[in-house]
Structure 1
Amino acid sequence: MNTEKWSSIKAKQSPVLRNKQCAVLVPLIENNGNLGVLFEVRSSKLSWQPGDICFPGGGRENTDISFEHTAVRETMEELGTSKKQIQMLGRLDYVESPVGVTVWPFVGMIEAGCIHISKQEVQEIFIVPVSWFLTQEPEHFCMEIATRPAAGFPDVIAKQLSWQWRKRSSYDIYMYQYENKTIWGITAHIVKNFISQYRRIEMT
């Protein structure tokens, strides 16, 4: 055995789940001295999660030089802003979804009055004051994850392990109810992290 070559292997992650890599922007807007967080309501015409509340963002493309580039590009497309109208501030903790998506969130300021939403992707936008989030703890729930064999899964394995197809683990779900808007899931998880960082950076 070639011990030298074996010892030179640089181990890297070999994921079982092939997560889609995405990036979003947490857009901050200042209006009359009040800082707010902008949210999108996804167009009802979209095939994936129509009507959901989210941040501008999407999947990383081969031409994107970084996840920050992805977040800015998607924000420009969805909100109709130019790059110079977005002031990037920093990044937040990335979030791994059990449905196979890894989301890289960034925070940035957007100039008020420069937004022209893409009706193909965005049904509407709304703004929640940061001060509201500072006084509201999100509701907390749990979602269970279970495994089950897909069509075509070998019977020789399924029969041996049939008793194991059950709940494997659970994960946290957060929810904010702002007026008639329900902010939940990954978006609420990102908001919770943003507010935590906001308190640490701006209030201490």
Structure 2
Amino acid sequence: MAESCSEAGLAPPPELARLAEGLTDQARLDGVVGLRPGRGGRRAAVLILIEVGLDGPAILFLKRSRQLRHHAGQIAFPGGGVDPTDVDLVAAALREAEEETGLDRSGVTVLGVSPAAHVAVSGFDVSAVVGWWHAPSPVAAVDPREVETVRMIPVAELTEPRNRARVRHPSGYTGPAFRIDDWLIWGLTAHFVDGILELGGWARPWDESRTVEIPERYLTDRRDTSGDVNAH
């Protein structure tokens, strides 16, 4: 089981100090999910795992398998619904990350947990567990039927102005987006990324009038019953 910084006696590196402080500020945390606060739906959690290397902080993402019926190829964080055996949101996020990527959870120090954000298409209330990867371990797609790729993306790439945009869904939904090579990060995942960049003091000015198209495979009005907590 991962421990918090205080429990483990570990201080986050200087690159994460502002983020760790922001995760203790309830007003700022509420702002991360302000546009879509929880509504008492089924609880779920995703893991925002941050490694600090020579080139600065980087965040772990995964790409869903293109074989899935729902949200095929979507970029997401590891995560899923809270099971009866999970003692809390942290346990759920770490269990899902271990199942999906093979993560050794003992190498993760928890910095904080966000309030829940509601996902209308699935009915989940999703919280983000933010972890410092103090002892990185090998990770990969455990089951290719569910996860195609696991990848670390540097914060410097996420904050690069030319990689930032907004998306608009035919349903009327609009929100932040990040285009990294051929990956489009949008929906709840992008909302959480946007919030983390602000909390960490990493965000840079960008052209907020810039919009990008959502891939056709994401354009569905059907209610998501697949258990995908990263849907828009």
TM-score normalized by the length of structure 2: 0.61
Aligned pair 1:109/2:132, yes or no? Answer: yes
Kindly tell me: are residues 117 and 143 of structure 1, through their superposed partners in 2, closer, same or farther at Cα, counting changes over 3 Å? Answer: closer
Asked whether the equivalents of residues 41 and 125 of structure 2 are also in contact (C-alpha less than 8 Å), the reply is: yes
Q: Report whether the alignment pairs 1:119 with 2:143.
A: yes
**Is 1:140 equivalent to 2:166 in the alignment?**
yes
How far off its partner does 1:34 sit? 2.4
1:106 deviation in Å? 1.2
Which residue of the partner structure matches residue 176 of structure 1? 178
CA distance in 2, matches of 1:98, 1:144: 15
**8 A contact 1:176–1:183 mirrored in 2:** yes
Contact 1:24–1:57 under 8 Å retained in 2 = yes
Counterpart selection for 2:75 from 48, 53, 64: 53
Aligned in 2, Cα 1:94/1:122: closer, same or farther, shift over 3 Å? Answer: same
What SS class does the counterpart of residue 117 from structure 1 fall into? Answer: coil
1:85 to 89, 96, 107: 107
What runs of 5+ residues in structure 2 fail to find an aligned partner?
1-38, 203-232
1:36/1:128 contact within 8 Å kept: yes
- TM value normalised by structure 1: 0.69
How many pairs are equivalent?
160
Q: CA offsets per residue over residues 31-90 of structure 1, 9 Å max, x none? A: 334211111001233333221110000011111111111111111111112221222111
Q: Which amino acid aligns with 1:128?
A: I
State the alpha-carbon separation in 2 of the partners of residues 134 and 173 from structure 1.
Answer: 16
RCO higher in structure (CA 8 A, sep ≥6): 2
- Cα RMSD between the aligned structures? 2.3
Aligned to 1:192: 194
Q: Is residue 167–residue 186 contact of structure 2 (8 Å, CA) maintained in 1? A: no
Q: Say which structure is richer in strand.
A: 1
For residues 118 and 61 of structure 2, what CA distance do their matches in structure 1 show? Answer: 20
Percentage of matched positions with identical amino acids: 26
Q: Is the 8 A contact 1:28 1:35 kept in 2?
A: yes
Amino acid at match of 1:54: A
**Alpha carbons 1:34, 1:129 under 8 Å: kept:** yes
Task: Find the aligned partners of 1:133 and 1:186 in 2 and give their Cα distance.
Answer: 15
Q: Which residue identity does 1:76 align to in structure 2? A: E
User: Structure 1 stretches of 5 or more lacking a match?
Assistant: 1-16, 146-169
Q: Which has the larger Rg?
A: 1
Residue 71 (str. 1) matches residue 71 (str. 2): no
Distance 2:48 2:89 in 1: 13
